[in-house]
């Protein structure tokens, strides 16, 4: 259901590169550069170093550093459903190496998973996406209220 591909991009080669296309690293968005490697949305997985096994859903017209791997969804499968499905997998059991941990597609690609019809995939993905959006909105509201409380406390005690 997935096709891996690699990136050879290094942040050290992109320090003076600025543009409109997102570049992702192990911790998410890094900066915008003037080119992209992927035309469509995709899943990225950290394959080397800190955060190995971490998954990200990445925007179209973007790129990842060489410590990540592109995972393109094949066939009649929904990208968002496959992303949420992958989040349920335990990638830690596939990590090799202690100094610099690695994870290889050839190992975790043998996972056996159940995949419903495309219409069910879309329904499930839409539900989970709406829950994520609601959680994100709630977290924003919590942060706003924390700042408001902090301001009130400063006014009260200063």
pLDDT at 155: 87
More confident residue, 158 or 86: 86
Angle at 44 between CA 56 and CA 111, to 5 degrees: 100
Which whole number is the average pLDDT over 86-115?
93
Residue 22 pLDDT > 80, yes or no?
A: yes
Per-residue pLDDT averaged across 93-119, rounded?
93
Contact status, residue 54 vs residue 61, Cβ threshold 8 Å: no
pLDDT value, residue 53: 95
Average pLDDT of the segment spanning 9-36:
95
Query: Residue 46 is inside which H or E element, if any?
Result: strand 42-46
Contact, 45 vs 71, CB < 8 A? yes
In this predicted structure, what is the pLDDT of residue 158? 72
Mean local confidence (pLDDT), 81-85: 97
Residue 50: per-residue pLDDT: 84
């Amino acid at each position: 259901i997935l096709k891996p591909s690699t990136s050879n991009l290094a942040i050290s080669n992109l320090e003076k590169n600025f543009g409109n296309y997102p570049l992702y690293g192990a911790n998410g968005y890094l900066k915008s550069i003037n080119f992209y490697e992927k035309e469509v949305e995709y899943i990225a997985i950290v394959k080397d170093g800190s955060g190995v096994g971490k998954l990200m859903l990445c925007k179209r017209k973007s790129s990842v550093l060489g410590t990540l791997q592109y995972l393109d969804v094949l066939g009649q499968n929904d990208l968002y459903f496959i992303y949420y499905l992958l989040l349920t997998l335990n990638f830690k059991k596939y990590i090799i190496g202690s100094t610099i941990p690695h994870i290889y597609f050839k190992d975790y690609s043998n996972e056996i998973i159940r995949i419903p019809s495309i219409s069910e995939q879309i329904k499930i993905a839409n539900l989970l996406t709406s829950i994520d959006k609601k959680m994100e909105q709630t977290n924003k509201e919590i942060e706003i209220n924390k700042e408001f409380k902090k301001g009130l406390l400063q006014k009260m005690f200063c």
